[in-house]
């Protein structure tokens, strides 16, 4: 069970941000003194790494977060409450922003609507460039069903005319270990397809490079992969070397895949997303290797074995 996905019962978008809390935040900041780089998702895995990379490069940033209590602290960073659906808070928080790093929101049935609302706010606020974390092979016909959401979001950003950079991330290496069930088995209809999984730390280095020089990456689409494309059998062997007990891969049929996930009681779109994570691998849609990480960051992307050894 897995997709690009929070587990059942995971993060759910809370109601629109509290207006008085927002006002209090804003009263402490002169508009003109706010940093002109905005980062979303810094309370999550990828956005936090992007924000940390920018801070390391002495870049001041606005951290747009749903829950300020969870926001990381960096020198010169300013925390602003918002959520993708909260047009007023988003437009205020984005006023004067030159470069916006936009992570895709948590999976939900209305994620594309949330993205569109936020992109509308960016347009209204006059944002100069959007760096969006998309998904590998995003297209209206992606086997991985959520790849279609990413395609819809990319097309919507394009329709606004805002200069942009799309980072099409392969599956995260960071989550390969989470594919393993309690019984030590990775289950899914991936057959002998290959996945060119990439570490969030490599994606974050690409993002922070692009954010610091957006003009050089204007309207570009990058394919972010690791340096090897592995079958899930090979993934299982590598994971086994880092665990006390061996991991194996079971190539489920489609029927088995839906049946083994039924106990989570998830809605159909979620089950389709989970299962199609594997069928997209079987279809060869996650296998292509790209040198974009190396070209942009100058560093060879880390392997699963290196990630697990860290």
Ligand X SMILES: NC(=O)c1ccc[n+]([C@@H]2O[C@H](COP(=O)([O-])OP(=O)(O)OC[C@H]3O[C@@H](n4cnc5c(N)ncnc54)[C@H](OP(=O)(O)O)[C@@H]3O)[C@@H](O)[C@H]2O)c1
List contacts with ligand X (CB under 6 A): 4, 6, 11, 13, 40-41, 43-47, 66-67, 70, 83-84, 103-106, 114, 133, 135, 169, 171-172, 175
Long-range own/partner contacts, residues 239-242 (CB < 8 A, 24 or more apart): 239/176, 239/177, 239/180, 239/304, 239/308, 241/305, 241/308, 242/305, 242/308, 242/309
Taking the complex as a whole, how short is the minimal distance between the CB of residue 130 and ligand X, in angstroms? 14
Q: Which is nearer to ligand X, 88 or 259 (CB)?
A: 88
Q: Which is nearer to ligand X, 246 or 267 (CB)?
A: 267
Taking the complex as a whole, how short is the minimal distance between the CB of residue 12 and ligand X, in angstroms? 9
Q: How far apart are CA 23 and CA 119, in angstroms?
A: 22
CA distances from 50 to 18, 38, 99, 149, 191 (A): 26, 11, 13, 23, 34
Taking the complex as a whole, how short is the minimal distance between the CB of residue 244 and ligand X, in angstroms? 26
Tokens 């602290």 belong to residue? 73
Q: Which is nearer to ligand X, 35 or 105 (CB)?
A: 105
Q: Which is nearer to ligand X, 155 or 259 (CB)?
A: 155
Q: Which is nearer to ligand X, 40 or 251 (CB)?
A: 40
Q: Which is nearer to ligand X, 138 or 296 (CB)?
A: 138
Q: Which is nearer to ligand X, 129 or 200 (CB)?
A: 200
Q: Which is nearer to ligand X, 46 or 211 (CB)?
A: 46
| DSSP string for residues in the chain | --SSSPPTT---PPSSPPHHHHHHHHHTS-GGGS-SEEEE-TTSHHHHHHHHHHHHTT---EEEES-GGG----TT-EEEE--TT-HHHHHHHHTT-SEEEEPPPPP-TTHHHHHHHHHHHHHHHT-SEEEEEEETT--TT-SSHHHHHHHHHHHHHHHHT--EEEEEE--BGGGGGGGB-TTSEEEES-TT-EE--B-HHHHHHHHHHHHHSGGGGTTEEEEE--S--EEHHHHHHHHHTTSSS--EEEE--HHHHHHHHGGG---HHHHHHHHHHHHHHHTTTT-----HHHHHHSSPPPPHHHHHH-
């Amino acid at each position: 069970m897995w997709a690009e996905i929070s587990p059942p019962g995971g993060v759910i978008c809370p109601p629109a941000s509290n207006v008085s809390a927002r006002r209090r935040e804003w009263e402490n900041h002169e508009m003109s003194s706010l940093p002109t780089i905005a980062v979303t998702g810094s309370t999550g895995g990828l956005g936090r790494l992007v924000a940390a990379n920018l801070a390391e490069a002495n870049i001041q940033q606005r951290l747009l977060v749903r829950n300020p209590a969870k926001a990381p602290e960096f020198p010169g960073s300013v925390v602003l409450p918002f959520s993708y659906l909260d047009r007023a808070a988003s437009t205020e928080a984005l006023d004067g922003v030159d470069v916006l790093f936009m992570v895709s929101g948590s999976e939900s049935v209305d994620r594309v609507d949330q993205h569109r609302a936020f992109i509308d706010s960016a347009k209204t606020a006059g944002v100069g460039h959007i760096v969006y974390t998309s998904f590998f092979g995003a297209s209206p016909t992606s086997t991985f069903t959520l790849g279609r959401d990413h395609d819809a979001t990319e097309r919507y950003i394009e329709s606004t005319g805002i200069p942009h950079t799309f980072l099409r991330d392969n599956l995260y290496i960071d989550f390969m270990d989470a594919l393993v069930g309690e019984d030590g088995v990775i289950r899914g209809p991936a057959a002998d397809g290959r996945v060119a999984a990439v570490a969030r730390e490599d994606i974050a280095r690409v993002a922070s490079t692009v954010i610091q020089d957006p003009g050089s990456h204007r309207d570009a689409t990058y394919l972010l992969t690791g340096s090897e494309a592995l079958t899930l059998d090979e993934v299982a062997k590598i994971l086994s070397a880092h665990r006390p007990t061996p991991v194996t891969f079971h190539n489920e049929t489609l029927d088995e895949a839906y049946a083994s996930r039924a106990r989570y009681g998830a809605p159909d779109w979620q089950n389709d997303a989970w299962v199609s994570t594997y069928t997209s691998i079987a279809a060869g849609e996650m296998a292509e290797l790209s040198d974009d990480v190396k070209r942009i960051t100058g560093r060879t992307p880390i392997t699963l074995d290196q990630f697990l050894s860290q």
